[in-house]
Amino acid sequence: MTKGRGPFGLVLRRCLGLATLPTLLATLLAWWLAPRSEGEPLAAAAAAEPWVALPLLCAAAICTLATAGFWPMFAQGRPGADMVRRLHPRRLQGGGRAIAAALVAQALLTTAVLLPLLPAIGAPAKANAQVTATADRDVLLPGDGSVGELAFTVPAGRTYRAVTIRPLAGAPADGLVPTRLHLHGDDGALSEHEIAVDDSLQVFQLRFAPRPLRHFRLVRNGGTVPLLFPPGSVTVQLDAAHPTWANALLLVLVLLLPSWLALGLGCLCGRAAALPTTATVVAALLFVATVGELGPAASALRRVLRGEWLLGESLFASLTGGGVLRTGLPLLLVGCAAMFVASRVQPWRRR
Amino acid sequence: MASAVTLRRLRTGLGLACAAGALTLQPPSLAPLATLATWLARPALMPFAWRAFDEARHHGSIDEQFARAQQVMRLLPTWSEGYLVFAVGFLTARHDPAASADERTDDAWRRLQLALAWLEAARVDAGRREESLLQSLAMLPVAALASEPGLAERLRPHGGAAGMADRYLAQLEARFPAAALREQRTFQLPGVAAALLGNGQRQAALLVLQQAIERSHDVRDRLLAEEWRQRLQEVAAHLAGEPQDLTAVFADRRLEALHPFLR
């Protein structure tokens, strides 16, 4: 077969040809509609998420649906299927390379969208890594003062520079007096500043000189408001900033997961179903995995817009906590399983 | 045949001229179309907007929460109280513990300006709901000051929190006259006078007090009106240089804002 005329080259050209203009128009629309500060700054690039998601979703939808509609082996009874079967006698009959081409096309388009759009809507120029601190034992500071402090642990061997807390507040034990907290490390106070909490979900960041850390304590210094620290309410910022473009490239990889799932299951579906069914399956899966937030795509986009480094957590923490890997791995595995089954199943032929 | 064609052309020309005249006299507005689009899109978008706002409360910054709240309110513009709920939440959010007093004041001032601008923008096409928005606008400077006392200096050139609130209440009273509203403003005027005194505007403060004394005649509870008028007259006389016994004034918490200027 002529170079560039195989499944990969054909599908790549088809996807780019169909998706480039709509994605460009969606990008311009997003740039135009996204809320931007006028005069007084309102540093809330993450609130522009729906508009930034628009061109990304546009590129993903067109690339996946164009692939399902273009490559004949994604559905039964498509013109050219017999010829493709003769030219590609392998198990997936070019389906794997077609999917790879669709993903490459989507990656190229989303990269081209994100790199100029992120600075244009005011996303932070640097992405800061952060990890979630785990409570050693208690997570509740009662308002009566029976527990004086809570201890937390963070991964060792890294340098940290701030602790952010966002506790839940209960009803005060006796008259409303904000609970005052101090931050202590292994060897004394980490920050000289005191915080006073009197309501739920108030966010405080206590900064200190960059230093290695393994344990720290939140010491109660009076007040009557009971405070609860559920998992994820205490995070620690690492002393490491990464460029946003690198974070955007990581995001591009994460955004491929919904498409991979949709095309993998679409490929399996195409072994027995006609194009309308396959297209519906692909579109529905893509919608659920992106807009419906089944998977890490939406949360990863928010984190990039908030200036959070996507690989902040360790591999283990990311797999066991709520990180990108934890939510992305099932999509990856289901897509792989669907492709494997599709490669083992003979296309169903109507008699 | 020729006359029928001429007549048809004449009718077409007249129709076009009338359409052009109508468009000139009453230019079409996109606002109703936008309202209809919002109304149609609301059921599909609201769950996502609420979820995004809730997510921002748990993981986002206070600025992001406010921006998300604005997105919710864009879909629900008729929920007048929502403006107040989100704006007060934005104003009273805690500050960075490491920030200096000046930085805290700057931040509180910035938030107040943003919140006021948001509600002012909502007033434009609020119709009858403007009453509730004006009430909310009157509350914002007071809430901001309660949350960040350092804001008092910044508010002073604008008449203080009470003065700013009074301007909105005056608009409210003019546009939606009601006895309860008139009384509310009457009882808030000493706060305006205190702000003026703090700004060194003694004569203006006396004028405001005089206005409060006159308005007290409209208070429906006669006993309360009489007592209130008496206290105000004592304050006004004291400020005018006449010796007065201010024991009752200092015992009255409603006049607490004036106490520092009477000692």
Instruction: Tell the burial category of A22 from Cβ atoms under 10 Å away from its Cβ (0-12, 13-18, 19+).
Output: middle
Interchain CB contact of B98 with A (< 8 Å): yes
- What does each C-alpha distance from A230 to A147, A210, A223, B89 come to in angstroms? 16, 26, 20, 22
When computed from its CA atoms, the radius of gyration of chain B, rounded to whole angstroms, is 26
* Token reading at B109: 């001032």
* Alpha-carbon span A19 to A13, nearest angstrom: 10
* Alpha-carbon span A145 to A71, nearest angstrom: 68
For A191, nearest residue in chain B (alpha carbons): B98
* Alpha-carbon span B7 to A341, nearest angstrom: 74
The answer to whether the CB atoms of B61 and A201 lie below 8 A apart is no
The answer to whether the CB atoms of B60 and A46 lie below 8 A apart is yes
Q: Which residues of B touch A207 (CB under 8 A)?
A: 98
| pLDDT at position B230 | 92
Interchain CB contact of B121 with A (< 8 Å): no
Say if residues B166 and B215 touch (Cβ distance below 8 Å): no
Q: Which residues of chain A have pLDDT under 50?
A: 38-42
Report the 10 Å Cβ neighbour count for B33. 10
Q: Which residues of A touch B71 (CB under 8 A)?
A: 47, 50
- Chain B nearest CA to A277, separation (Å): 24
The answer to whether the CB atoms of B67 and A44 lie below 8 A apart is yes
- Chain B nearest CA to A46, separation (Å): 7
Tell me if residue B60 falls in helix, strand or coil: coil
| pLDDT at position A246 | 94
* Alpha-carbon span A155 to A160, nearest angstrom: 10
Tell me if residue A138 falls in helix, strand or coil: coil
Could you say which DSSP state residue B102 is in?
Answer: H
* Alpha-carbon span A115 to A10, nearest angstrom: 26
Interchain CB contact of B263 with A (< 8 Å): no
Name the residue among A116, A206, A84 with its Cα closest to residue A152: A206
| pLDDT at position A252 | 96
Kindly give the confidence (pLDDT) of every residue in chain B, 263 residues in length, as a single tens digit, with 9 standing for 90 and above.
668 888 899 999 999 999 999 988 888 777 778 778 888 888 888 999 999 999 998 888 888 899 999 999 988 888 888 898 899 989 988 767 888 889 999 999 999 999 999 999 999 888 888 988 998 999 999 899 988 899 998 998 888 888 899 999 999 989 888 888 888 888 888 888 888 888 778 888 888 898 889 888 888 888 999 999 999 999 999 988 888 888 999 999 889 889 988 87
| Phi-psi group of A188: left, alpha or beta (phi > 0 → left; psi -120 to 50 → alpha; rest → beta) | left
The answer to whether the CB atoms of A302 and B59 lie below 8 A apart is yes
* Alpha-carbon span A302 to B55, nearest angstrom: 10
Q: What is the amino acid identity at position B242?
A: E
| pLDDT at position A181 | 92
* Alpha-carbon span A105 to A116, nearest angstrom: 18
* Token reading at B1: 């045949």
| pLDDT at position A41 | 44
